[in-house]
Amino acid sequence: MRMYDIISKKRHGGKLSDEEIAFFVRGYTEGTVPDYQAAALMMAVCCRGMDEEECTSLTLHMMHSGDTVDLSGLENTVDKHSTGGVGDLTSLVVTPTLAALGLNVAKMSGRGLGHTGGTIDKLESIPGFNTSLSMEEFISQVKNIGIAVIGQTADLAPADKKMYALRDVTATIDSVPLIASSIMAKKLAAGAESILLDVKYGSGAFMKTREAAEDLAGLMVKLGKKAGRKMGALVTSMEYPLGRKIGNSLEIMEAVDILRDGERSDARLVSSELAAHLYSVATGCGIPESRELVNRTIDSGKTYEKFLQWIKAQGGDPEAVDKGRLPLSPHRFELRSPADGYVCSADTEGLGMASCILGAGRVTKDDVPDLGAGYILHVSPGDRISHGDLIATLYTSDISKTAPACDKILFSLRIGDSRPESLPDLIYRFIS
């Protein structure tokens, strides 16, 4: 078998066999297939696509290219994945809620890159929090308190790690079969029985339209089911930042606003819906009943108790969280409106990049984020604002970053003369 023939077959629109896909994944992981041939095949896939059977084969071979996590000693294991967004703190609410409801949350999360935030960076803004547990410590903690969240290990789906890095520089990122296989290979390797996907659409999401997000969600649900997992997906909006506190420690603070102080917000609504749908997928309980259970658990304070227990178990300082002693960068600046009008819409990717400019994110994977940087956005779609009204409060360790971040926020907000007739629905559709 030759890579030349596999590339040629796909370039001409042919269907690759399981054996051909296995040959490619194994060879690329081991280094016998060079980058230039892997890039050629991925470009052929990007142009010609893959059917469901090919996607399943690619996903499973990538999943088994390295270690897989054995969670068979745990019951009712659940995992949740978001395709990324701005102010997306939902994992900080969903995971302790499900643990408080008796499910076992064994989750591996990623770091932020570009305009999107990462759960691991947010958790590491808590003094002492350890996201690098050994696999034995990880599973033991889930057994003891029902929840552990760690960074992805280097040996989990290594084929995907190599392929993703190559896709990033060969303009093959936006292939639905490659996106779906990449996400699901890692999720399946992480071992949970039940998986819920939060697939974002809009100006701050990778998928710009609801239809594209729906297609991706549907394919990933099918891939997970073929691998024997319980699956569901919510297609949700990222036309505007989900939370209003954008940055690492700031998003922990907003999670506390929801869990301890009962704040009602877009972030609370989407988080509770994700938790309810994942509880339903895992247990078979109806959505209305699951929704009631989730909201009652959050409102009772049980989720917040579990949140603090989880922080302590992973070495973090729960008192720093509860008493508001999380790091905030020293330079504070208030951005005020230069004009009158209505907040009509936003370039949410641009709003995410404003946080990066302040130091909260990464432009390259080797950047070290300022965990106390970011900003609080004080306006929402449909709001009437007047000249001089507070738009955002910025935090940074480098005061020279304030002006470009302000420019980015103002450029990314679309202010009009009249209130928008309609606002995007936060939750578009559930796919199961």
Q: Out of 182, 249, 271, 345, pick the active-site residue.
A: 182
* Interatomic CA distance for residues 153 and 60, integer angstroms: 18
* C-alpha atoms less than 13 angstroms from C-alpha of 218 in its C-beta half-sphere: 8
The C-alpha atoms of residue 353 and residue 366 are separated, in whole angstroms, by: 17
Residues 115-126 as b or e (16 or more Cβ within 10 Å = b): bbbbbbbbbbbb
81, 216 contact by CB (below 8 A):
no
Q: How far apart are CA 318 and CA 324, in angstroms?
A: 10
Residue with tokens 């990717």: 349
d(CA 45, CA 55): 10
Q: Is 186 a catalytic residue?
A: yes
CB 121 within 8 A of CB 249: no
Provide the token pair at 138: 């990880």
What is the number of residues in the chain? 432
Active-site choice (10, 61, 81, 210): 81
Q: Which of 61, 107, 161, 167 is catalytic?
A: 167
List the catalytic residue out of 79, 160, 266, 370.
Answer: 160
What are the beta bridge partners of residue 151? Answer: 109
Which residues share a beta bridge with 231?
A: 195
Q: Is 167 a catalytic residue?
A: yes
Asked if residue 221 lies in contact with residue 186, where contact means CB atoms within 8 angstroms, the answer is no
Query: Reduced to 3 states, what is the DSSP secondary structure of residue 306?
Result: helix
- Whether 325 sits among the annotated catalytic residues: the reply is no
394 HSE (CA, 13 A, CB side):
29
Tokens in use for 9? Answer: 């077959």
Type of residue found at 69: V
The identity of residue 12, as a single letter, is H
Buried b / exposed e along 351-366 (16+ C-beta atoms within 10 A): bbbbbbbbbbbbeeee
Q: Give the whole-angstrom CA distance, residue 69 versus residue 152.
A: 11
- Give the C-alpha distances (Å, rounded to integers) separating 432 from 105, 106, 285, 319: 20, 21, 14, 40
Which amino acids are annotated catalytic?
81, 160, 167, 182, 186
